[in-house]
Structure 1
Amino acid sequence: MRAALFDSYGPPDVLYEGKVPVPTPKQDEVLVKVHAVSINGGEISARAGRVRLLTGRKFPQRVGLDFAGEITEVGPAVKGPAKGDRVWGTLPRGRFGSAAEYVTVRPAQISLAPQGISLVDAVSLPVGTTAITALRTQARLQPGERLLVRGGSGGVGSVAVQLGKAVGAHVTALASPRNLDFVRELGADEALSYTTASPSTLGTFDVILDTAGTEHAAYRRLLAPGGRMVAIAFDTKNPLPSIAYILASTVHGPRRVRFFSGNPKHDLFAELTRYVDSGAIRPVVDTVHPLSDIAEAHRAMEAGGVRGKHIVQIYG
């Protein structure tokens, strides 16, 4: 089958479309024919070699974390999912390889995909489970609270803006100048350019969702008493100070920075499906690329200024 591969760490140009065997599902797995995947920051870091202590030096390696597709085979021990189901989900933490024609996965990692949108559009949204966890579980965002979303036009940020409005919060989004109208269309009450709006000009917030990974200390000072800041990224150019600050903040001071690495399961995907089916959250697709252009998809993601997600279409 066709799959996105790379034989050495490096820039997007190391990626290519190659051939690997079709996986065989275990007794407790399903085989999914992948219609599309999205490009995520974690796989970009892995491809660039920034986490090589975890990914190792065995090549070729694969990319792709989330997926949307159709179940074509069901293991004998699987209960619930059926052949022909339209599903979405992610691979387990630490595993890449969904950018391929087929993938095997346990039912806990998937749920039925929303019915009212295409699978290509749907795959822009699995990162929405991160927004749900960040705002509902980690920050416990309440109606009427003031929410700041850094990176409001990105994959997670664009869902967080919509989710914040669905909860009933007052949403301020930071984005690039060209995306300000876009985040307003998503529901942001205020849209500010990150090139001109410094932390000192922003006021106070009850909840801050940081998808940028920089200037944690400056933004933490914007928290109102009882405020909560959730960081889902750290500074990849200077990671150690960024990580050290987040860890220290969990011990010292009343306004702690919460950090987590998503590993969504069935219930979260099912909840996200309900949000999408109700119309509270809609997919946001920047560009759809064919699998043969996997390098260009990574290159475009790294260039920044993204509106939603870059998608790689396999079938459909």
Structure 2
Amino acid sequence: MKAVVQDRYGSADTLEFRDIDQPVPAADEVLVRVHAASVNAYDWHYMHGDPKLARAVFGLSRPKARVRGRDFAGRVEAVGSGVTGLKPGDEVYGEADGAFAEFVCAKDGMVGPKPANLTFEQAAAIPLAGNTALIGLRDVARVQPGQAVLVNGASGGVGTFAVQLAKAYGAEVTAVCSTRNVDLVRSLGADHVIDYTREDFTRSGRRHDVVLDLVGNHSLAGFRRAVAPTGALVLSGGGVYEGGSLVGPMGLFFKRQLVAPFARQRLLELSARQTKATLAALCELAESGKMTPVVERTYPLSEAAEAIRYLEVEHARAKIVVTV
């Protein structure tokens, strides 16, 4: 089968489009014929092995997972002996390393029925980014109706979902983005928009019940200035940044661990693990019209390296999708 393969850490130039063996599903896996896969900051970090501390997970000297890509949507080709509830021909979406390929094997618990009202391209945009937004707002921050929620990085892959979900939960949403993305986040339902090229939300004097940070571009003290005295700050791993550091955006996590026990504010860390339950929740949100994926552009599988390069260089808005 055709796949986008990487044998050493580096830029998008290290990615090769070539033939490899088709994977065979284990007992607890599903083999999916991929129709579309989406690009995430996760792919950039894995490709570069950055921050370097993450190589303890990614692979010390080279990537453990040789095929890039994480999100996918497609049709079930075969199921392992221990898989129930899915059968060949089912339209599904989910997460697994190796999605930039014609076929991918995914754990049964990381695959669910595709939203019926979405195309494969739209569905492939959801799993990682949508799950991050869902867990961050629903489970970690526990957003309530009427609360003031600020999303830092509102026009990115996770951010576009977070704005929509915060509105669905009844919050008053402030979106932080660049000038070119102001109209986009407004169209997603943001009540207020801050153009970070003109205003620093950490120095505006306004405080929010929840601040969801998806960028990591301010100090912990700066973020806390934007959080109400008893509010919640939720830190994610951040997006694409200059790179080359030992800890990267995880530095904020380390500082949070030191300060959190003594803070009145809730200083929280976002770790979003995909499950069938979260895939089902995202599917319901999409089918109800409360959450619609925004796809900026698509690339064919043979140009997946260009898709990641675009994410890195152009700071893409919303989601970039690879079609197979």
Q: TM-score range by the shorter chain?
A: over 0.9
Q: Unmatched 5+ residue regions in structure 2?
A: none
Change (3 A) 1:7 1:176: same
CA distance in 2, matches of 1:305, 1:114: 28
- 2:174 is aligned to 172
When the two structures are superposed, what TM-score results if normalisation uses the length of structure 1? 0.93
State whether residues 73 and 114 of structure 2, in contact with CA within 8 Å, keep that contact through their aligned partners in structure 1.
yes
Percent of aligned positions with the same letter in both sequences?
A: 37
Change (3 A) 1:61 1:27: closer
SS of residue matched to 1:250? helix
Q: Offset of 1:285 from its aligned partner?
A: 0.3
Which portions of structure 1, spanning 4 or more consecutive aligned residues, are displaced by more than 4 angstroms?
234-240
- 2:44 is aligned to 44
Q: Give 2:88's match in structure 1, choosing from 75, 83, 87.
A: 83
Q: Deviations over 1:36-55 (max 9, x none)?
A: 11111122112112233332
- 2:225 is aligned to 221
Q: Unmatched 5+ residue regions in structure 1?
A: none
Q: Which moved more, 1:195-204 or 1:205-214?
A: 195-204
- 1:285 is aligned to 295
Q: Offset of 1:106 from its aligned partner?
A: 2.3
CA distance in 2, matches of 1:117, 1:82: 20
- 2:102 is aligned to 101
Q: CA RMSD in A?
A: 1.7
What is the one-letter code of the residue matched to 2:125?
S
CA distance in 1, matches of 2:190, 2:78: 42
Residue 158 (structure 2) pairs with residue 153 (structure 1): no
Q: Offset of 1:273 from its aligned partner?
A: 0.3
Q: Deviations over 1:192-249 (max 9, x none)?
A: 1111111211511000110001213201121112200111125755446423212223
Q: Deviations over 1:135-179 (max 9, x none)?
A: 010001000100000011111100010011111100000011000
CA distance in 1, matches of 2:125, 2:32: 17
State whether residues 237 and 249 of structure 2, in contact with CA within 8 Å, keep that contact through their aligned partners in structure 1.
no
Change (3 A) 1:307 1:263: same
Where do 1:248-259 residues align within 5 Å?
248-259=258-269
Q: Deviations over 1:107-133 (max 9, x none)?
A: 211110100110111111111111111
Work out the number of aligned pairs and report it: 310
- 1:110 is aligned to 111
When the two structures are superposed, what TM-score results if normalisation uses the length of structure 2? 0.91
SS of residue matched to 2:215? coil
- 2:61 is aligned to 57
